[in-house]
Amino acid sequence: MLAEFGHFALLLILVAGFSQALLFSPLRLHAGRIVASLSFGTKTVTAVSGNSGNEALSDVHEPDTTPHSSALPTPFPNNLIALPLIILALGILSQAALIHAFVVSDFSLPIVADVSHSSTPLLFRVGAAFTPDGGAMLLWVLATALANIVFALQVFRRASNTPTTASSDSLFIANALSILGLVIAILALVTLIDADPFLRVAVAPLDGRGMSPQSQDVLRILREPVLYLGLAGLTVIFTVSIAGLLTHKIDRSFAETLRPWVIGAWLFLGLAIAINAYRSYSQQAWGNWWYWDTAENSLLIPWLLTTALVHCRAVLEKTDTLKSWTAFLGLSAFAVGWFGVYLTRSDLLGPLTETLSQSADSTALLVGFCLLFSAAYFLFWRQSDRMAEQKAFGFVSRESGMFLSSVTLSLIAAVILIGTIYPLVLRWVDGENITVGAPFYVEALLPVVLPLMFIMGFAPVLRWRQDELWLIGRRMKLAVMLSLIIVLFVSIRFIDLSPLPLIGIGLAGWILAAALSDLWARLWHQPDHGESKYRNLQLLGPRYISMTLAHIGLAILIAGGSASAVWEEQVVLSARAGQSIEVGPYNLQYEGVALLAGENYATRQATFILYHHSLPVAELFPEIRYYPIRGTETREADIFHGRDGDVHVSVGDRSEDGGRIVTVRFLPMMPWVWTGMILMLIGGSISILTRMFLRIRKNGVPAS
């Protein structure tokens, strides 16, 4: 019965979303103003025009005795957050109903019977509610409903702090809330049409088909909510961009409104990428951490455009320039995020026969994408002429550097998008099946990525508006010397190293040296403020600290990825119990295989003792698991994270000589990859948390 309540709640979300779209619709608000003016009849009434924002309609000089006349310029309902709060409550109820169906194994719901089983562990039964199409779409609706209430609270606080809200601001906020309600309604409608999670069958099966073994992973469960929180942030960015285009309000106030949502979306999408990368690295037997497949590219492309938006939004807030480009990125980031969901859900890149038989599974998602974004880009095309830049900046300036960085990031995203959809286009044109892998992306992206990394080195030292080349040269002396030392050391130490990894390590050193040298100059070359030089750290501001950590993290990630790819060692052999395997600075002793039983699988677990300098440092337990419900066998690797690098061990079947196939890989500097990702995420977290802290305290470190 609870599933029916969840189904009804989903239907009410559809109704409430359209109600919010109508409640804050500019047409309704405009009509409300006219009615209010007729009822008061004693004051000058203002209506919003398309250009200036205010235009006098009539002047009546009789005295106004109405105590609430000042409320007329702010055409909001009495409570901005009532309807968003109702939508969130309905989303929680609907999601809770679906999770309850999985927990109690209600197999009368096909979604539960398809991906769960009575023997599936409870944690994975809860996680299974997020993995099928209907469950994932419902989670997307819930995440967007959460973003809806947070945005409503944001604008409600702004409206309450401003005694008389300007008409242009009122329409901007109303348009954003109206479009956000429309998007929620579209997502709810798509969920009901494409993959209604609450449909029942007349005769329930005795048990389910079981959860996919690849999905029975804690990291997979964590990735789904994080991913859809990132997409919810992109939804708000999209709606605010549309509202800005409708009211011609792409300005510094617009950029300030976007700031927490851009950083938040960037942070959640980056966290989803990090979780997915480590899951691929730790769960798969071959030990890579990025495969350039559809699911991974669907995460990376919106993150790249959001990164570009981070830079352009900062320029818009600081100098009131790059208006059109910022609005375009705000639309495009959500567009590629939506399209990525469609690609992963529709299985368009799967076998052609299966695609043809399942072509209607995501039809509503595709139709919603086409209608929503065709209207959005048409609006952008109509309004772009009105966003001509009124201010100019020099070619040698921070604005130019950030603009070039954002364009380069967008080109990278475009190349990855082409590589992702090219096999689909080719297959539908001539029926040929091809796979676009790492070699294509490396060759296609290098000419774009290398200039981006070079530009990033200058980012901390460039000045706003106009800078001088000779001054930049003076500031970059230390960075140039440090990066040259790094390149010379690596090239001498590894004389046979190919040029490509050397260039990658050199540019990573360039970014790292530039960030650290600028930080050194700001901390110790500035006048003393207060008790000591360390007081300068408090004066840097969270934005600078966030940028520095993000750039340092990216440099460390690139250096670690390049080094692990170049100096990787791999040993594949047939091992017997007691045999020793040497790889890198480590030595592995194979102890044999034991047959064990898991909660819903049987496993052959191998045991290895890892030695470093003849001392035991860890035990590793790679496995071969068999899931009888699905009849599927998986190989689970085990990893040791050391200071020298990672030791990645996996086992296979028996060889012809009676031994066990063992694959051991040593990846030097692989911990640098995860450290770099963590530093980048910490940088984004500092920006968000500091802003929240300052909002509460309203004093302390400046926000910029």
Distance CA 171, CA 153 (A): 17
Average pLDDT estimate for 53-72? 39
Q: Is residue 506 part of a domain?
A: yes
pLDDT band at 564 (very low <50, low <70, confident <90, very high): confident
- pLDDT 10s digits, 456-474: 888 777 777 776 777 777 7
Q: Would the pLDDT of 51 be above 60? A: no
Regarding whether 614 and 663 lie in a shared domain, the answer is yes
Angle (CA) 385-389-395 rounded to 5° is: 135
Q: Out of 163, 183, 212, pick the residue that ends a domain.
A: 212
Residue 386: DSSP 8-state: G
Amino acid at 616: P
Regarding whether 574 and 562 lie in a shared domain, the answer is no
Q: Is residue 428 part of a domain?
A: no
Regarding whether 498 and 601 lie in a shared domain, the answer is no
Q: Is residue 53 part of a domain?
A: no
In 431-498, alpha helices (H) = 438-458, 469-475, 477-493
Domain total of the chain: 3
Regarding whether 547 and 484 lie in a shared domain, the answer is yes
pLDDT of 44:
41
pLDDT of 394:
66
Structure tokens at 581: 């395997």
Q: Would the pLDDT of 165 be above 70? A: no
Q: What SS3 class is residue 396? A: coil
pLDDT of 687:
82
Tokens 């309807």 found at:
83
- Per DSSP, what are the bridge partners of residue 645? 668
Q: Are 316 and 255 in contact (CB under 8 A)?
A: yes
Distance CA 150, CA 177 (A): 11
Between these two residues, 315 and 697, which has the higher pLDDT value? 315
pLDDT of 428:
76
pLDDT band at 149 (very low <50, low <70, confident <90, very high): very high
Q: Residue 580: which domain range?
A: 569-668
Structure tokens at 82: 């009532």
Regarding whether 537 and 619 lie in a shared domain, the answer is no
Regarding whether 596 and 531 lie in a shared domain, the answer is no
Distance CA 476, CA 488 (A): 18
Between these two residues, 276 and 282, which has the higher pLDDT value? 276
Q: Is residue 16 part of a domain?
A: yes
Q: Is residue 595 part of a domain?
A: yes
Regarding whether 163 and 90 lie in a shared domain, the answer is yes
Which residues lie closer than 8 Å to 378 by C-beta, 6 or more apart?
Answer: none
Burial (0-12, 13-18, 19+ Cβ within 10 Å), 51: exposed
Q: Would the pLDDT of 413 be above 80? A: yes
Q: Would the pLDDT of 337 be above 90? A: yes
Q: Would the pLDDT of 360 be above 70? A: no
Regarding whether 1 and 122 lie in a shared domain, the answer is yes
Regarding whether 115 and 196 lie in a shared domain, the answer is yes
- Where are the strands (E) in 313-429, listed by range? none
Q: Out of 157, 182, 212, pick the residue that ends a domain.
A: 212
Q: pTM value?
A: 0.86
- pLDDT 10s digits, 621-630: 999 999 988 8
Q: Would the pLDDT of 62 be above 60? A: no
- pLDDT 10s digits, 617-661: 999 999 999 998 888 888 888 999 888 888 999 998 888 888 889
Q: What SS3 class is residue 569? A: strand
Which residues lie closer than 8 Å to 96 by C-beta, 6 or more apart?
Answer: 6
Tokens 């990846």 found at:
667
Q: Is residue 145 part of a domain?
A: yes
Q: Out of 212, 235, 259, pick the residue that ends a domain.
A: 212
Q: Is residue 110 part of a domain?
A: yes
Regarding whether 19 and 168 lie in a shared domain, the answer is yes
- pLDDT 10s digits, 204-214: 888 888 888 88
Average pLDDT estimate for 32-41? 49
- pLDDT 10s digits, 361-386: 688 899 999 999 999 999 999 887 77
Q: Are strands 55-58 and 45-47 parallel, antiparallel or unpaired?
A: antiparallel
Regarding whether 191 and 155 lie in a shared domain, the answer is yes
pLDDT of 178:
92
Q: What SS3 class is residue 460? A: coil
Q: Is residue 5 part of a domain?
A: yes
Regarding whether 664 and 682 lie in a shared domain, the answer is no
pLDDT band at 401 (very low <50, low <70, confident <90, very high): confident
pLDDT of 396:
76
- pLDDT 10s digits, 472-483: 777 777 777 888
